[in-house]
Structure 1
Amino acid sequence: MTSTGSDTVFGNARVVLADRVIERGWVAFADGRIAEIGEGMAPAGSIDAQGDLLLPGLIELHTDHLEAHYVPRPKVFWNPVSAVVSYDGQLATCGITTVLDSLRVWREDGAEDVDGRAGVLAAAITAARESNILRADHFLHLRCEVPMPDVVEEARELIDRPDIRLMSLMDHTPGQRQFRDEVKLRDYYRGKGAGMTDAELDVLFKRRFDYQKAYAAKNMREIVALAHQYRIPLASHDDTTEENVTDAIRDRVSVAEFPTTMEAARGLHQAGIDILMGAPNVVRGGSHSGNIAAIDLAREGLLDILSSDYVPSSLLTGALQLSKQVPAIDLAAAVCTVTKTPAEAVGLNDRGEIAVGKRADLIRVHVARDIPVVRSFWREGSRVA
């Protein structure tokens, strides 16, 4: 859906750069790249942004929202390419111009319908991309549940794909990390679809304990080795304890997703690891799992990246709220958490900021009643939404 754009100039905009905001500025782009940035009156013939924000396109590193389009109801599987296109359209309305689609690389009978479908969804993303029907630029994030018996084999089936930009190391065994409180995990599964009974959850949890004991350590070593072999950045997930932090440092992870305690976040920050938190956590004012609030980390200088996680619109809303709730974070710095910093974390250094020579991935945003609305969406200089 993209093509090389002709010369375009946006004027009368609040232009958000990586280090400051031009309150009345203009941006020119040509041949898919940003060509010039100016302050004050724009050149003749420019598009009047009417004082709206002009931001770099948002960069999303962790969203499993595609799954909701592919399995919209329990046991209902939508056409996978149609699901990708529908999901992509939602991303565009939320200002996300680059996304790492998070795919579950594991199978677990009796848990969730979407488990074991990574290959199907990866193929659907490729088909949609090759048909030129996507608005955003799509890459892959392989979510590897390390206790699962077949996770290494399934990761190997996908690892040769050139669009993989991130692999995450996850362990959702009850009683640790995100679900230290087993009751929270039971509530989660009771609320999924038709829900699960306590007897069914007892069987599920016992199996997970057995898998963790039998497979986790070996699978962890093999997934880490695989990522390093293919030079794919690694993310840890739900770090909680000092031991978790030590493991993340040992495994040379570059991003720590959703640390659950202040202790873990401080250790990760001291090690130079980027800390990613959920934008819904910012918007809601806290974690739905009862863990550390993202705003508390931001106030301590421990927040680097936001992710929309399960609500695509939260990415833009969360960034704008961040600059209002934390005095030390101005608008430019807040926007970097959803643009420049995530782009750099996965080696996408050609985008993520409004700067001469960078990709002309831009969004025009109007804010009304504290709700941001994406009015237009430009990818490589061409308007696609």
Structure 2
Amino acid sequence: MHTGTRRIINGNIVTPNEVIIGGSIEMENGIITDVLPHSRVRSLASDDIDAHANWIIPGIIDTHSDAIEKEIQPRPSSLFSAKQAFMELEKKLVLQGITTMYHSLSLREHKSGKQRSNETVVQLLEDINEMKQHPRLINHKTHIRFEITNVKAIPIVREWLESRKMDQLSFTDHTPGQGQYRNREELKSYLMGTQQMTEQEAFQWMDMYLELEKIDQQHLREIADIALRQNIPLASHDDDTLEKIEAAKKWHASISEFPITLDIAQAAKEAGLYVVLGAPNIILGGSHNNNLSALEALKSGAVDVLCSDYYPPAMLQAAFYLYKQGFLSIPESINLISYNPAKALGITENVGALQPGLDADILIVNDNNAYPAVERTILKGSTVGQLTYQPTKQLTKG
């Protein structure tokens, strides 16, 4: 945290409702103290940061990302230590503009690889919670994705909630034939491509999954009640029926992640849930598994939040794509990756907007080229990442 007073000047400041052209932000001891129009900016001081007429936006809040799993296991046979992966990942996230990351850990167990076994996830959560106690480049949070066929993990999840070892919980169900995997052929192709299964092995995996016992509604409600009591946000996942939306409301869930169809996304919105879809879905022009198009949902007003899902760079790219293509104003597009996630997760008292009293988690973004680029990342008033692009020097033949 930066101690003392400093300013960011000469930038186009994006607030939840407007853009302040050529404005400045004053910070003291890591907290935003004022947001000023150009006419009130005093002369340049030695500790000031000149934004050079670039965008000044809040740090990005990523509600759902399995990037830590990819960093630990970049190849099926390559497994790095969690602590090493954690340190390397945050270096990347800083200059992708993500200042608050909810690391999504899948507590799945059934033939999903060692990385998602109960034993491994227990250790990974402990490692992350230990690592984030030390000086860090970003804010680290944890999101436990609790598969409802993982009956053995009930006491683990209850203990984590009671001791507040997690920051978000979601109930997931990847049983073939419903939700994300309604189409068995697409699931087969996914398993063969990502898990190196043969066609026969893929169908055997699906048949075995269908035989698994599911946690009953009473136990899910008891777990949801603990989350509510501990003020830990709860999400439903891959909703594909109105019954699932109704169940989510009974659990006091606040979020619906990745609803499968437009009518279900709209129903989730009408039920008062924040709808989260993937930023890669925007960039790629559709869902990677042929489910709901995020752009279609956005045009219908059925999206509140974008998350990185599996590709963190997509967060900033998607927000600026939506703005530059005229789908949203710049405040509306930036809200999808900052203010709205903060509201969905109940953390607006600390982060999510460029407003007095909030943490000075701030990005300076240059969008003069084909893709937006973070030129400076500021966490609690301190610069934690900076890029200075240099002109290419032309080599001459001697």
Into which bin does the TM-score normalised by the smaller protein fall?
Answer: over 0.9
Partners of 1:81 and 1:127 within 8 A in 2: no
Q: 1:320 to 1:164 in 2, by over 3 A?
A: same
1:227 aligned partner: 227
1:142 corresponds, among 141, 144, 152, to 144
* Aligned-partner SS, 1:23: strand
Indicate whether 1:251 and 2:251 are aligned: yes
* Aligned-partner SS, 1:14: strand
d(CA) in 2 for partners of 1:264 and 1:378?
38
d(CA) in 1 for partners of 2:193 and 2:4?
50
Matches within 5 A, 1:1-385: 3-40=1-38, 42-44=41-43, 45=45, 46-108=48-110, 110-116=111-117, 117-132=120-135, 134-162=136-164, 164-193=166-195, 195-212=196-213, 214-215=214-215, 217=217, 219-325=219-325, 327=327, 329-349=328-348, 350-385=350-385
CA apart distance, 1:266: 1.3
Partners of 2:146 and 2:172 within 8 A in 1: yes
d(CA) in 2 for partners of 1:115 and 1:258?
20
Larger Rg: 2
Cα distance per residue 1:18-65 (max 9 Å; x no partner): 101112111111111111111225322232211111111111110011
Partners of 1:57 and 1:95 within 8 A in 2: yes
Aligned length: 378
Amino acid at match of 2:310: Y
TM-score (structure 2 length as normaliser): 0.90
d(CA) in 2 for partners of 1:4 and 1:92?
17
d(CA) in 1 for partners of 2:169 and 2:290?
25
Q: Percent identity?
A: 29
CA apart distance, 1:223: 3.3
Partners of 2:129 and 2:165 within 8 A in 1: no
Amino acid at match of 1:332: P
Pairwise CA RMSD: 1.7
Where does structure 2 lack aligned partners over 5 or more consecutive residues?
386-398
Q: 1:168 to 1:158 in 2, by over 3 A?
A: same
d(CA) in 2 for partners of 1:233 and 1:185?
29
Cα distance per residue 1:315-361 (max 9 Å; x no partner): 1111111223454x211011111111111211212111001111101
TM-score (structure 1 length as normaliser): 0.93
Choose 287-296 or 39-48, whichever is displaced more.
39-48
